[in-house]
Amino acid sequence: MKSINVQWFIFGFAAMLLLSSCGAKRQASQLLDHKNLLNTIATGKASPEEKLDALAGSVTTMMHESLKIANPKKGVNYVTQFAGDNTQAIDKILNDVGTWQKELSGIEKAALALKMTQKPYTRDLLALIPKFQRKYKQIAFVGKLTKRLKSRLFNVGMDKLGGKILDKIGNEEEEE
């Protein structure tokens, strides 16, 4: 009877190691995918809007991935690794987008702001950013990234539109 209990213990321990190893491999693969995408976009010939879309998509996906990690320490490590791998690419993309946005006329900025509200990631990011900031507020990168994303994605053209777009999106979220 004792040998059966020992076998179950060994089996359970082996299963736990295997599952934690699979999670670590999956996270490493996800981080590598983010790094490859962001570096390719940052150094590529994509338009600033395409760069912004790729960045927002990658960050949205990373936020979902990190919020699914149950162990807070592993979640912090995941976000920290993402930051370490991608800060330069993110900075380049956001600088390119910022330069492009500064060159837009008032009408073009307003049109871009309206277009941003129709992007598939906009509502997702608006919902994720506060959750992400609460969970990972101790990481300086999180505050800096979320502030810059909000600035580049959601504030362009707001002076021309009176800030009504984000108010409208926020109100729709609360009604649902």
Looking at beta carbons, which pairs linking 95-99 to residues 24 or more positions away fall under 8 Å? 96/42, 96/48, 96/51, 97/48, 97/51, 97/52, 97/55, 97/152, 98/152, 99/48
- Over residues 101-114, mean pLDDT: 87
- Over residues 148-153, mean pLDDT: 68
More confident residue, 90 or 171: 90
pLDDT at 8: 67
**Whole-number Å distance between alpha carbons of 36 and 14:** 33
Does the global pTM surpass 0.75?
Answer: no
For the stretch 55-94, pLDDT in tens is 989 999 998 998 888 888 888 888 889 989 999 999 999 9
